[in-house]
Amino acid sequence: MAETPKKAFVIGHPVAHSRSPVIHGHWLAEHGIAGSYERIDVAPADLPDFIRRFAESGFAGGNVTIPHKETVLALVGRLDEAAELIGAVNTLWLADGVIHGGNTDAIGFSANLDQSAPQWRDVKSALVLGAGGAARAILHALTQAGIGDIRLVNRTLSRAQELSDRFGAGVTAHGWEAIAELAGDADLVVNTTSLGMHGEGGAFLDVARLPDHAIVTDIVYVPLHTPLLEQAAARGLHVVDGLGMLLHQAAPGFERWFGRRPAVTPALRDLIIADLEHAR
């Protein structure tokens, strides 16, 4: 008897911009799995109903994107540790009839660095720019990796302080003006702000101040080479773009819904780069 096709979704509002269907479609084809992954636009008012009922429609689970990542926390039966600590859900799956909510952004961030800058596992200090939703996943990843000196810098100091309270003594909060001073011995720099998305320069961080061994990464992937990464690369530093995090955060969901562990390959990267170019 043929296996029942497995189905997964990405929900958001709007959701048309999501690259997840291209990623999962590539993996489904690569593994020869009879399954589907579709975009579903779910308005905020319809979210509770959608979550209650998706299993009845044959879905094994799916991804959650803006604006539902936080609202969905209260709608699932069980949260994984990452979703609780980060305060947002990006992946849903069913297990034993219970809807589980997880967050794979921290895993995606770490896996991207493991692949592109494995020496990051030895860093002692990290400079994190920005204290929004994305920063919470990065702080989870960095604390999980055992980095004991994480300097969190944000334009609005109170937001950095809130995250420092949440993630413990290893995370210290600083105002934006502290960047220059903190850069001098930062082994790893992570930009989680939206700076760079709209053509802003990377001037907020003078890369000349960073140590020669510093790794610089940005979670923004449009553009792929943000001004910060370009300046860091020109200075000869090891740079890692944000596209890898997007690809790696998708893998755990695929494995839960479709039962196979997918790989993040250069072919997948090229596919998404072409798709992003096409959408411009």
Residue 154 engages ligand ATR in binding (rule: CB under 6 A): yes
Could you tell me the end-to-end alpha-carbon distance of the chain, in angstroms, rounded to an integer? 44
Listed residue (225, 227, 263) closest to 242, CA to CA: 225
Q: Which residue of 14, 77, 132, 148 would you call a contact of ligand ATR, by CB under 6 A?
A: 132
Q: Per CB under 6 A, which region of 127-135, 142-150, 179-187, 205-213 contacts ligand ATR? A: 127-135
- Considering the rule CB under 6 A, would residue 226 count as an interface residue with ligand ATR? no
Does the footprint of ligand ATR cover residue 133 (CB under 6 A)?
yes
Rounded-to-integer distance, Cα 106 and Cα 80, Å: 12
Of 111-119, 189-197, 236-244, 259-267, the window that binds ligand ATR (rule: CB under 6 A) is 189-197
* 69 carries an active-site annotation: yes
180 binds ligand ATR (CB under 6 A): no
Residue 164 is a binding residue for ligand ATR (CB under 6 A): no
Question: Measured from the CB atom, is 119 or 194 closer to ligand ATR?
Answer: 194
Whose CB is nearest to ligand ATR? 132
The reply to whether 130 sits near ligand ATR by the rule CB under 6 A is yes
Which among 41-49, 116-124, 130-138, 183-191 is the span making contact with ligand ATR, rule CB under 6 A? 130-138
- Helix ranges (H only) for the chain are 20-31, 47-53, 81-86, 105-116, 133-144, 157-167, 179-183, 227-234, 243-258, 266-279
| 20-31 vs 266-279: helix crossing angle, rounded to 10 | 140
The reply to whether 192 sits near ligand ATR by the rule CB under 6 A is yes
How would DSSP label each residue in 13-69?
Answer: SS-TT--HHHHHHHHHHHHT--EEEEEEE--GGGHHHHHHHGGGGTEEEEEE-TTST
The least CB distance from residue 134 to ligand ATR, in Å, is: 4
Bond prior to 5 in cis (omega within 30° of 0): no
Q: Which is nearer to ligand ATR, 90 or 192 (CB)?
A: 192
164-181 in b/e burial notation, b at 16+ Cβ within 10 A? beebeeebebbeeebbee
3-state secondary structure of 191: strand
Among 64, 113, 182, 195, binds ligand ATR (CB under 6 A): 195
Give residues in contact with ligand ATR (CB under 6 A): 130-135, 154-156, 159, 192-195
